[in-house]
Amino acid sequence: MIVNVFERTEKKYRVEKNIVKDLIYSMSDNVMPDKFGKYTICNLYFDTDDYSIIRKSTEKPVFKEKLRLRSYGVPSLESDVFFEIKRKYKGIVSKRRISLPLWEAQRYLRQGVSPSQDSQIFREIDYMMKFYNPGPKLFLAYDRMAFWGVHNKDLRLTFDYNIRSRQDDLSLEQGDNGDLLLDKNVCIMEIKTNSAIPLWLTEILSKNEIYPTSFSKYGTVYQQKIWSDYYV
């Protein structure tokens, strides 16, 4: 079992796909591509029957949290996946996650059998599962290009596009198909860092008139699709 903990600020931006190539070129002296290149991220979000977790999140509270199962690409039952708690408090995002085989994660979710290796983070996940008693509510996938800072080692930039979701076939191994969330010509850029955004990057964003926006993938699906189906 691999345990990962991240804590950082995250800023999101809506960017037209037709400028992404030029935008990356303008950053090329300061960023380098992630070693995985382009890849697909698949997520399975857990929530209560009345969607209380995401409903609270969309109300922009000081503290909010989400629980999800994540894979890189469409996994098999033997593939390692990540069980994650994502929290945000006063603008600081933290992720606490464990890695385990998909079959072991499913056994825990369906039968309550704990993973073979214990950890503090698994106990936090288990507490959250017992507190909320959530079930799988949304599958969400997107294609990503990622970059790391050359001089700012804690800087990470990602471009997410083809964001898609479904509310059926709620398991990671069922493929990454779904309905598109945004216009196909729009992607979401995220800047993730433990410190201030460097001046060179601020200048590039200003020159291209790219400004921060509030955006949650799960929150947007909830507001556009789930809310009206559930409450109206």
Q: What is the pTM of this model?
A: 0.93
What does the H/E/C string look like for 101-143? EHHHHHHHHHHCCCCCCCCHHHHHHHHHHHHHCCEEEEEEEEE
159, two tokens: 């471009």
Write down the domain spans for the chain: 3-231
Mean pLDDT of 74-93: 94
Angle among Cα 169, 171, 175 to the nearest 5 degrees reads 75
Query: CB-hemisphere CA count at 13 Å for 35?
Result: 0
124-137 per-position pLDDT tens digit: 999 999 999 999 99
**Of the CATH numbers 1.10.287.130, 3.40.50.2300, 3.20.100.30, 2.40.33.20, which one belongs to the domain with range 3-231?**
3.20.100.30
What SS3 state is found at 206? Answer: helix
- Is 185 a residue whose pLDDT tops 90? yes
**Cα–Cα dist 205/211, whole Å:** 7
Q: What is the pLDDT of residue 117?
A: 84
Rounded percentage of the chain residues whose pLDDT exceeds 90:
84
Mean pLDDT of 37-52: 95
